[in-house]
Structure 1
Amino acid sequence: MEITEVRVKLVEDSDDRLQAFCSITFDNSFVVRDLKIIEGNNGPFVAMPSRKRTSHCPRCRCKNHTRASYCNQCGNKLKHPSLQESTDGRSKLYADIAHPINSVSREMIQSGVLKEYKAELARSKKPGYSSRYGEGFSSGNVQPHGPHLDHVKQPLKPERINTQTENNSFGDGIFDC
């Protein structure tokens, strides 16, 4: 497996720890979006795309974010079940959507993304800089291409009915096509 493309979108207000979003393409055939480049205590690192963890309301079984105080559906006050903890003792509020399953893959992704991140930082300092993050990606709102219908005959126009009268009175001919 090879990373064939990395696209980085820098975050404008970099006072926060989040420095950039990126997408990576594997073997010119598979894209993973919404990776985050975060400034950590030991420099930038790559965080995988994630979603908030959820739990079900005991009354209506609706899904709610793990730390929600009340159910989004029925308004029932929620009790927080014991949350899973990470290795550093903090509660796990997010779950990765996609992630590498071994350290070699993680290092390959991290080094490729951070290399492109540094290159994007350098490009951003040049005049006329424009991010290419969204170029060439389909937004998903594109209508599918249908089959070519050249061989299908178009319906014929209805025959024209002559509705004119001899005296050309008011309203004559309004239904003529």
Structure 2
Amino acid sequence: MQITDVRVRKIEKEGKMKAIVSITMDNEFVIHDIKVIEGEKGLFIAMPSRKAADGEYRDIAHPINSATRDMIQNVILSKYEMTTLDLPEGEF
């Protein structure tokens, strides 16, 4: 499984959420609304989630194992870091 496209929409206002990301897997499947969040130990991703009847949030889509989660997070955070360099359009 390969991430074939990453789209980053930076959040300009103050707060812990820094960006909303969409990824495409194998040019066939898209996951929208992955959040880039700044935590106490640095940036991390939060998969798309929905509020359940009990008030807790549950992921709508998520990796099954930690290796896949790490791969997705590394690709997303690398792309996010490139967008913060403020390069001209198409340079990242």
The answer for the alignment partner of 1:112 in structure 2 is 75
2-side partners of 1:121 and 1:51: how far apart? 28
| Larger helix percent | 2
2-side partners of 1:34 and 1:104: how far apart? 21
Asked which structure has the greater RCO (Cα within 8 Å, sep 6+), the reply is 2
Superposition deviation, residue 126 in structure 1? 4.3
- Map of 1:55-74 to 2, 5 A cutoff? 55=54, 66=55
AA partner of residue 9 (structure 2): K
Structure 1: segments with no counterpart, 5+ residues: 56-65, 67-92, 131-177
CA spacing shift, 1:116–1:54, aligned 2, 3 Å: same
AA partner of residue 61 (structure 2): A
Q: Does 1:27 pair with 2:2?
A: no
3-state SS in 2 of match to 1:45: strand
The answer for the alignment partner of 1:99 in structure 2 is 62
Structure 2: segments with no counterpart, 5+ residues: none
The TM-score, its normalising length taken from structure 1, stands at: 0.48
* 1:83-127 alpha-carbon deviations (Å, 9 max, x no partner): xxxxxxxxxx200000001011000100000000001111xx346
AA partner of residue 47 (structure 1): A
* 1:139-167 alpha-carbon deviations (Å, 9 max, x no partner): xxxxxxxxxxxxxxxxxxxxxxxxxxxxx
Q: Would you identify which runs of 4 or more consecutive aligned residues in structure 1 move more than 3 Å? A: none
The answer for the alignment partner of 2:42 in structure 1 is 43
Superposition deviation, residue 7 in structure 1? 0.7
RMSD: 1.6
AA partner of residue 96 (structure 1): D
Paired residues in the alignment total: 90
AA partner of residue 8 (structure 1): V
AA partner of residue 4 (structure 1): T
Larger radius of gyration between Structure 1 and Structure 2? 1
Identity percentage over the alignment?
49
